[in-house]
């Protein structure tokens, strides 16, 4: 008769993994360079990151992380992330973490907007799915391309001379892609771009990222002054319409970032010929599930991408690495390793930069293990009773 499955079919259909506990932690991530400066005089010296650990009734545990770039970059902030997680966590108890589309629709129905809040939960569930399947998340996202991928280095906004020295330092460490933080005084920005362009070599990539910092008349002067250089212009102005205006004034390759937070924006930009590259930040889309959808759309329409996030430590870096490593090499314009910018490690076996490149390990899931001694006491927990228990005197 051959092999017979003695488990009733109805029982197989009903069997599913369940989320039993969600614990949230707050952790500070100081910077190696002391601070990070970008357009409009914005600066951060310690990143406030939130780590989520999702536990299941089958013993699998997934980790996620959300780390906004302070409260003044995007409509997201660290304490808002934790408040949103306290709102959503009770609603996910008992759900199947491997049913990611169902889970994401449930989060969207019960919390309008706030994709960054949902991102850490979604990533943690991908970690669980990978462990359950016995495969790295990158394989589940489509498969791994190559043995590694190249990284960019963000160069904090300083004097032209100081930025040149930083680029030289990181060139010696193997980086070939550099993202200059401009978006300040336009004349100084022109000097910054020209100064760094002089030390670029064949195969190097230079991006002038204004992070929405220029008004149109200043952006127009900048693109005119650097038109002969081999440089990309990234997000010069605040609104999509302003950026499109500048795009139409220059032949330089163009990147959009802050205005790209969903598939509809990608399609609009593509139809308007508004950019040559888009920046997909995982938490801005709401997690790996929707970032993968955006990535696959870009591949389908022939649009290159930078794969990254707003900021973070080891866990965010691992999530970035799995999405980037599963992106076709010729479509991956760049990516980054945020854990190399900060002094605090929060997970074992996280991807580590080697000669300006990054790669994932072959362990199932994200392939990392949270350092519980570093995370310390929970910020709050949510258990099978669907009750949120806070362990901090801080206000949300």
Buried b (16+ CB within 10 A) or exposed e, 111-124: beebbbbbbbbbbb
Two tokens, residue 80 = 């808002």
Residue closest to 306 by CA, chosen among 148, 150, 201: 150
Catalytic choice (181, 202, 290, 371):
181
Nearest Cα neighbor of 34 from 156, 189, 151 is 156
Query: Which token pair is 131?
Result: 């462990």
Q: Is 171 among the residues known to form the active site?
A: no
Residues whose CB falls within 8 Å of the CB of residue 35, separated by 6 or more in sequence, listed in order? 43, 44, 45, 156
Q: What does the block give as tokens for 323?
A: 């999405």
Neighbours of 134 (CB within 10 A): 10
Set 281, 284, 290, 371: catalytic member: 281
Instruction: Give the angle subtended at the CA of 248 by the CAs of 243 and 296, to the nearest 5°.
Output: 65
Query: In the structure encoding, which two tokens stand for residue 79, read together?
Result: 């304490």
* 177 among known catalytic residues: no
Alpha helices in 198-313 (DSSP H): 216-225, 240-247, 263-271, 282-285, 288-301
- Helix, strand, coil percentages (3-state) for the chain, rounded to 5, are 40, 20, 40
Say which residues have a Cβ less than 8 Å from residue 9's Cβ, sequence separation at least 6.
none
Task: Give the single-character DSSP code of 365.
Answer: B
Q: Are 368 and 348 in contact (CB under 8 A)?
A: yes
User: CA geometry: angle at 31 spanning 27 and 35, to 5°?
Assistant: 120
CA–chain centroid gap for 293, Å, is 14
Q: Give the span between the Cα atoms of 235 and 219, in whole angstroms.
A: 10
Q: Just list the catalytic residues.
A: 181, 281
């Amino acid at each position: 008769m051959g092999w017979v499955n003695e488990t009733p079919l109805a029982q197989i259909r009903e069997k599913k993994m369940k989320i039993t506990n969600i614990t949230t932690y707050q952790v500070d991530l100081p910077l190696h360079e002391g601070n990070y400066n970008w357009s409009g005089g914005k600066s951060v010296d310690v990143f406030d990151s939130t780590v989520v650990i999702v536990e299941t009734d089958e013993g699998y545990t997934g980790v996620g992380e959300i780390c906004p770039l302070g409260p003044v970059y995007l409509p997201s902030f660290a304490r808002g992330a934790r408040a949103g997680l306290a709102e959503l966590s009770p609603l996910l108890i008992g759900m199947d973490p491997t049913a990611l589309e169902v889970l994401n629709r449930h989060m969207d129905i019960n919390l309008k907007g706030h994709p960054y809040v949902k991102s850490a939960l979604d990533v943690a569930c991908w970690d669980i799915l990978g462990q359950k399947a016995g495969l790295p998340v990158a394989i589940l996202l489509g498969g791994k391309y190559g043995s590694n991928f190249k990284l960019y280095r963000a160069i904090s906004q300083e004097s032209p001379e100081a930025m040149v020295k930083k680029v030289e330092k990181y060139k010696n460490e193997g980086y070939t892609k550099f993202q200059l933080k401009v978006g300040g005084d336009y004349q100084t920005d022109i000097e910054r771009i020209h100064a760094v362009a002089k030390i670029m070599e064949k195969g190097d990539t230079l991006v002038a990222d204004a992070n929405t910092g220029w008004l149109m008349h200043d952006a127009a002067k900048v693109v005119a002054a650097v038109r002969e250089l081999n440089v990309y212009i990234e997000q010069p102005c605040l609104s999509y319409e302003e950026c499109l205006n500048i795009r139409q004034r220059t032949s330089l390759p163009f990147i959009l970032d802050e205005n790209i937070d969903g598939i509809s924006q990608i399609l609009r930009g593509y139809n308007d010929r508004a950019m040559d590259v888009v920046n997909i930040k995982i938490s801005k889309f709401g997690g790996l599930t929707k970032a993968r959808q955006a990535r696959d759309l870009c591949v389908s329409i022939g649009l290159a991408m930078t794969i990254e996030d707003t900021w973070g430590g080891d866990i965010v870096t691992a999530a970035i690495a799995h999405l980037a490593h599963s992106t076709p090499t010729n479509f991956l314009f760049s990516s980054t390793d945020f854990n190399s910018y900060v002094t605090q490690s929060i997970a074992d076996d996280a991807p580590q930069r080697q000669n300006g490149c990054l790669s994932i390990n072959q362990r199932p899931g994200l392939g990392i293990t949270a350092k519980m001694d570093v995370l310390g006491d929970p910020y709050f927990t949510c258990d099978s009773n669907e009750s949120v228990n806070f362990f901090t005197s801080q206000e949300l």
